Amino acid sequence: MAKESIKLISNNKKAYHDYFIEEKYEAGICLHGTEVKSLRMGKCSVKESFVRIENGEVYIYGMHISPYEKGNIFNKDPLRVKKLMLHKYEINKISGKISEKGYTLVPLQVYFKGSLVKVEIGLAKGKKLYDKRNDIMKKDQRREAERDFKVRNLG
C-alpha cells in the first residue's frame, strides 16, 4: 500500500501550551460537501474548540469552518457541532480515562490523509500556571543555547 500524503489544514499550538498531551487518537469527521471544499482552501480553526463524549459518540464543539465563498444555500453553520468517528473500543478507553479527575479531550490538528479529513485529538491533563512558566523557561534556555552555539560556530 502506498503511503498516503498528509496535508496539514489547521494546528492547535495553544493545546500544547495549556495541557500535557498523554495520548493521541486519529478520528474521522462527519462533514458536508461545502465544508470539505472550504477545508481544501485551508479555512479552518480549532483554537477555541473542545471535544466531548455524549451517549457513546464523540463530538467536536467550536471548530470553525468558514463558509465556502462559491457556496449557496447548502452552506452550513460555521460553528456547527460535528461528529467524530472513532472505534467503539477507543471511545470506551477514552471515556474511562476522562472519568478520572483532570483529563479532557482537545483537538490538536486537522489534516487531509489522502482525500479524507482527519482530526487528531489528544487526551490531555491541564497544566498549572507554574508548569507553563517552567515550559517557557525551558524554551528560553534552549533558544539561548542555540544562539550561543550559532555565534560560536560563526566566529
Confidence tier at 33 by pLDDT (50, 70, 90): confident
CA dist 29 and 61 (Å) reads 12
The owner of cell 476522562 is 98
Amino acid of residue 75: N
Percent of the chain beyond pLDDT 90? 0
Helix, strand, coil: what percent of the chain each, to 5? 35, 35, 30
Q: Are 109 and 29 in contact (CB under 8 A)?
A: no
- Can you give the pLDDT at residue 1? 44
CA dist 31 and 13 (Å) reads 24
From the options 2.40.280.10, 2.60.120.1440, 3.30.1490.20, 1.10.510.10, give the CATH code of 6-127.
Answer: 2.40.280.10
β-pair partners for 54: 57
- Mean pLDDT score across all residues of the chain: 78
Q: Are 105 and 44 in contact (CB under 8 A)?
A: no
Confidence tier at 74 by pLDDT (50, 70, 90): low
Task: Quick: pLDDT tens for 112-129.
Answer: 887 888 888 888 887 777
Nine cell digits for residue 97: 480515562
Q: Are 108 and 22 in contact (CB under 8 A)?
A: no
Where in the chain are the domains? Answer: 6-127
State the pTM of this model: 0.69
